[in-house]
Amino acid sequence: GQNIDQPTEMTATEGAIVQINCTYQTSGFNGLFWYQQHAGEAPTFLSYNVLDGLEEKGRFSSFLSRSKGYSYLLLKELQMKDSASYLCAVINNAGNMLTFGGGTRLMVKP
């Protein structure tokens, strides 16, 4: 079966740092994606991890531990425009299907 868990909602302050966690139990694994989705818009790609460790990309970083079935997305220097849903998704062995978590709605307050 496929099970991907992430918190439903988080709130943080402008300029701060926030970490969004994702745990997964899937029958196949060929990498983990993070997407950002503003209300009513398309999900947009943030990061892809397939090896253990931290990938840094500007204000956003993503971490993966395959042995623990765990990932997090770290957002630094939060801006109001970062208010959105953040989707964690696992790609299957065949590389053709993303299984998504329910998404974490992040609200950034002044």
Partner 1 sequence: GAGVSQTPSNKVTEKGKYVELRCDPISGHTALYWYRQSLGQGPEFLIYFQGTGAADDSGLPNDRFFAVRPEGSVSTLKIQRTERGDSAVYLCASSFGGGAGDTQYFGPGTRLTVL
Q: Which amino acid makes up residue 97?
A: M
Give residue 91's Cα distance to chain centre: 13
Question: Rounded to the nearest whole angstrom, what is the least distance from the CB of residue 82 to partner 1 in the complex?
Answer: 19
Number of residues that this document lists for the chain? 110
Name the residue nearer to partner 1 (CB basis): 4 or 73: 4
Question: Rounded to the nearest whole angstrom, what is the least distance from the CB of residue 61 to partner 1 in the complex?
Answer: 18
Question: Rounded to the nearest whole angstrom, what is the least distance from the CB of residue 23 to partner 1 in the complex?
Answer: 14
Name the residue nearer to partner 1 (CB basis): 61 or 85: 85
What is the rounded distance in angstroms from the CA atom of residue 10 to the CA atom of residue 24?
19
Question: Rounded to the nearest whole angstrom, what is the least distance from the CB of residue 110 to partner 1 in the complex?
Answer: 25
Beta strands in 1-110 (DSSP E): 3-5, 9-13, 18-25, 32-37, 44-49, 53-57, 60-65, 70-75, 84-91, 98-100, 104-109
Interface with partner 1 by CB under 8 A: which residues?
Answer: 4, 30-31, 33, 35, 41-45, 48, 50, 87, 89, 91-103
Name the residue nearer to partner 1 (CB basis): 35 or 72: 35
